[in-house]
Every structure is written in C-alpha cells, then in structure tokens.
Structure 1
Amino acid sequence: MKRLLLLGVLLAVSSTAHAIVIRHDVDDAKYRVPATEFPALVDMPGEGHGALIAPQWVLTAAHTLPMHGDLKQVVINGAARDVERVVVHPGYRTLPQTLIDQAMASGEAMLIVVFLASGDDVALIRLKAPVTDVAPVAIYSGTDEAGQIAKILGKGATGTGATGHSPSGPNRTELRRAFNTITSAYDRWLCYVFDEPPQALPLEGVLGNGDSGGPVLIERDGQWLLAGQGAWKVVQGNVLTARPGRYGQVTCNVRVNHYRDWIERIMAEPAQTTAVG
C-alpha cells in the first residue's frame, strides 16, 4: 500500500501498461524512446527509478527502496550493479498505517498530502564498483525552475490524460519521455500540472505509477541536468475511485538542488558498509 500512496493511487499518491501518461490526441509512438535517451536512468527492483549522479552513486526517492529486506542490486544501462550501502535522508518518514487505513475507509486523504509534503523523500545508493560505461547526470544548480520546460522519463504505468491509467498496474514496461512546464518550485519540491490540449505542450505528459524516482530534467547550455525526481501527485476526489494521470492533476517531485549539500556530504564520507542518515 505504501507504493500505491506514493505517485498514483490514493489522493496524494506518488507513483511508485507502459510508461508516462500522455496526451490522448498524440500517437504513443512519439513518446517512446530508446535507452540511449538517458543512459543514467536507474531501474529499481520491480518498479521505480533513480539516476546515476556519480560513477559510484545513485540518487532516488526514498520510497522506491524495498519495504522489507536489503537492496542488493539496481540496473543501469541494462546491467545489474551490486549495491554496497544505502543512505536514507534522516528527514524521510514512512507513511503511518493509521493514515492509510483512514483513507481506505473514507476516500479522503488530505492528511496524506500534508504528511508527504513535510518529509524528505531522498536516498543515496553507493554501488560496490564505479559505473564506467555510463556518464553520470549533473545536478541542476539553478533556483529558477519555475517556468522552465522539463523533460521527464520513466518505464511505469501509462494511459492518456483523458482517462488516466489503471492504479493496479502494470508498473514496468517501455521507456517513454514527455515534457511539462514546471509551475512551482520551493524548498523540497517542484511541481507541474498536466494541461489539457490545446494548452498542453506538443509532447506533454506526466509520470505514472512505477515512475517514482524518475528524472525531471532541465536543459541548460545544451545539456540536460537533473532538477527533480518523481515523488507524489494530487488526485482530486475520492481516492478510492479516482484514476491517477488525468488532465488537471498536479505532480510534485523532489527538488534535487535543495539536497545538494547533503548529497555532497554523504558522497564525501569514507566508504562504509552500514547505512547512515
């Protein structure tokens, strides 16, 4: 249930059969891309993504991590990479079962939105060996994300803005990319709205279930930089019956530059085998 509540199924759900929810009036083939579109994309086990930000480090949304057991491997550029340790941000909190139960009973989940917005949904993964066949993505250093056009990628659930997508999956299929205009950026989060045509961008879209941790990229001087990672979305109405991914819904993403100091501090620490915060 935690994955359902994080980018898709209940009201503020962070999607944790295809990828990227697209315009209803544009051919799906225009959204599909090969892995070479973003080689630094990391596939978490089962569903969810991350991004290679240094030869031995992956950044992801904390809720993509396995709920039970250790993370043993991730996949980058089609190859399994062994994990040495995982570092979860100390401000990350798992969703209380009480809030889940209340939302399941009533269909109202506003306090889930409040809870998700107040946490630090970030984790770093140190690999046992440096990745030598993929160039890491650089982090966007600006604070002017609002108003910028972002490129988003993922292999999670798909559908169209007219109907949304099924909250029950499948949540891992083909790679797609889409674009959206960032509408707000402050503190931990940057967000965008899935606009309906004709206001939408030519290849407008949003991340779907299974795209949590997926990259939100901003282009600067011809280079796509990592500005955000998929986290959660706001689904209006009864969260038990509403479909995620419809036009008008807001998707919020981890604002990566907000965590730059923490990221650099953790990566500079001596290698160790235990997880730290």
Structure 2
Amino acid sequence: MTRCLLIVLLAASSTASAVVIRHDVDDSKYRIPESTFSALVDMPGEGHGVLIDPRWVVTAAHTIPRHWEKKQVVINGIARDVERVVVHSGYKKPSQDVLDNALASWDWMLFWAQLTASDDIALLKLAQTATDVSPSGIYEHKNEFDQTVRIIGKGATATGATGYEFSSSRRTELRQAYNKITSAHDRYFCYVFNDPSEALPLEGGAGGGDSGGPVLINTEMGWRLAGLTSWSAGLRSTRTSTGQYGSIICNVRLSHYKEWIEGVISEQPRAGGRRSGF
C-alpha cells in the first residue's frame, strides 16, 4: 500500500520504540524483556504475529509482504521458514478512490467503513515445528466488551501528547501497555487511548508497526490471545502524526474467527473460505 495508509493502518510491509504511552509515566515502566511473551512473531521488517500452534502463526493479513522472496519470520530470536500462507478470503484492501477522497477531505469515515468490512486475518504454516516456544492460547469467549486488555509490540513509540511521525522507526524495543475495550462486534473490537485524566496506570495504544501483534485478556488459565492489532481511527485534525490521545485502535477479534482458524489448521475449511497467499 501507499505511504498514506500509515495514517490508519498499524502495519508492516503493506501499510499501528513500540506502543504509544502516557506522557506522564516513565518509558521504563512499559518496557519488557523479549522473554515475557516468547510466542511473539516478528514479520519481515515490521509487524507481528503470534504462535498459536507449534506449526501455525496467526497475523493480520495486511502484514503479509506483497513480494516475499525469502519467506521467513522470527520467533524467540530464531528465523523460521514459512511453508504456507493462508489469507482469509474476506480480506479486501480499501479502494484507491475512497483513499484518494479521504486524503483530499480528511474525512475517513468511508475508508474506515471498508476496513471494518474486511477480514484482516491470515495464518502462516511453519516449515518446522517450533519446539522451543509455548504457543499462546486463544480467547474464545465473546464477552470482550469492557474488559482490560494487554497490548504488546515493538513498533513506533511516542507519547499520547505528541503522537508519532510517519517517518518514525517501526521496529524498536518491546513494550506492553493496558487499555479497556470500548466496543466489540463481529470482526473487530476497539479501545480508546485516553488522556491521563481517564487512563489506566499503564494505559497505551498500538503504534505503527505493531499490526498483527497480540491483544491479550487475562483468564483463570492465564493470558489468552483475544485479538490482533489492525488499524486506527485517529483524530480528524491530525495530519502529520498519529497515536495521540483520543485515537481509537481496532483489533481483529479472534473469537469471531474460531471456526475458520480451526478449519485451516485441521485442513478442513469452514466458514469464511480461504485462499493461499503463495
């Protein structure tokens, strides 16, 4: 995609220091060691995925490089060959006409409407089983609304007071933050990056390059993968930076894709169909 899509897509090669943080909290409180979440997958250049099975990675479809000559991802610091890519058949990029109109008027409503109608999810099959990493369990319930989530990524970073520039680095240090889900329906759930007067102690939001990264919900069984960072509806007045307070970040809702994921992994396609990326 064009550089302009950096305004709304928090992604890797085709388009959200990592995780945008509160300006009144020291950055060191957000930083975490790589070992904290070893199931995190680094896509080429930028963007993430999550290991959910010893042979399978789930990611946002728009993180898949358009031309991926050396099909590899990095997990736990080790490069792993990718044997197969399965992109959901319902994944659709926003049309160029709608994008051009949005850039001219800075009215992104139709652009966002196209994003919400797209199934931004893909699965990668590793060539070899990842025996050194424990896969993340998936959160299968549909009660995400109003729950606190944990966001992990190493994309662009800044504070909510300033946001980050399009030119900011999209592969930095690993960070985590927390937020509360404000809407959950169908393909996506979203949260608002609030200013300090309404924020959680370590509130934050995904940054550019965090796409496909984990959004986790804590359960009796530990943290479970509820979603994947996908796209952001930033402030209408923000033309030069994103990630400011008030931004809304939307995430692929994995409970919606439970049957599709299970069908692909079991080699028995179910609802939603599929197509191979290669």
Return the TM-score normalized by structure 1.
0.92
Give the number of aligned pairs: 267
User: Structure 2 matches for 1:237-276, cutoff 5 A?
Assistant: 237-238=236-237, 241-269=239-267, 275=276
Contact kept? 2:165, 2:240, Cα under 8 Å:
no
Q: Partner residue of 1:209?
A: 208
Partner amino acid for 1:252?
A: C
After TM superposition, the structure 1 = structure 2 runs for residues 221-232 of structure 1, keeping only pairs within 5 Å, are 221-232=220-231
CA distance in 2, matches of 1:144, 1:71: 39
TM-score by length of 2: 0.91
| 108-117 or 97-106, which deviates more | 97-106
- For 1:109 and 1:28, how far apart are their aligned partners in 2? 31
Alignment of 1:55-74 (within 5 A): 55-70=54-69, 72-74=71-73
In the alignment, structure 1 residue 118 sits paired with structure 2 residue 113: no
- Report the 3-state secondary structure (helix = DSSP H, G, I; strand = E; otherwise coil) of the residue aligned with 1:36: helix
Match of 1:15 in 2: 10
Judging changes above 3 Å, is the alpha-carbon distance between structure 1 residues 187 and 50 closer, same or farther for their aligned structure 2 residues?
A: same
- Summarize deviations over 1:36-95 as a string: whole Å, max 9, x none: 111000000001000000000000000000022456000000000000010000000123
Letter in 2 for 1:249: S
Alpha-carbon distance in structure 2 between the residues aligned to 1:59 and 1:258: 14
Q: Match of 2:276, as an amino acid?
A: A
Alignment of 1:108-147 (within 5 A): 108-147=107-146
1-side partners of 2:240 and 2:247: how far apart? Answer: 11
Give the whole-Å Cα distance in 2 for the aligned partners of 1:276 and 1:65: 9
Do the aligned partners of 2:235 and 2:246 also contact (CA within 8 Å) in 1?
no
Number of the residue aligned with 1:37 = 36
Does the residue aligned with 1:159 lie in a helix, a strand or coil? coil
Partner of 1:174: 173
Q: Which residue of 2 aligns with 1:98?
A: 97
Give the Cα–Cα distance (whole angstroms) in 2 for the partners of residues 113 and 74 of structure 1.
29
- Using the alignment, how far apart are the partners of 2:240 and 2:142 within structure 1? 34
Aligned equivalents of 1:14, 1:218: Cα separation in 2: 23
Query: Does structure 2 conserve the Cα–Cα contact (< 8 Å) formed by 1:65 and 1:71?
Result: no
Answer whether contact 1:3 1:15 (CA < 8 A) is retained. no
Aligned partner of 1:150 in structure 2 is 149
Q: Distance in 2 between matches of 1:238 and 1:194?
A: 16
For the residues of structure 2 that align with 1:71 and 1:62, how far apart are their CA atoms?
Answer: 18
DSSP 3-state at the match of 1:146? coil
The CA distance in 2 between the partners of 1:223 and 1:3, in whole Å, is 38
Mark the runs of 5 or more structure 1 residues left unpaired by the alignment. Answer: none
SS in 2 for 1:50: strand
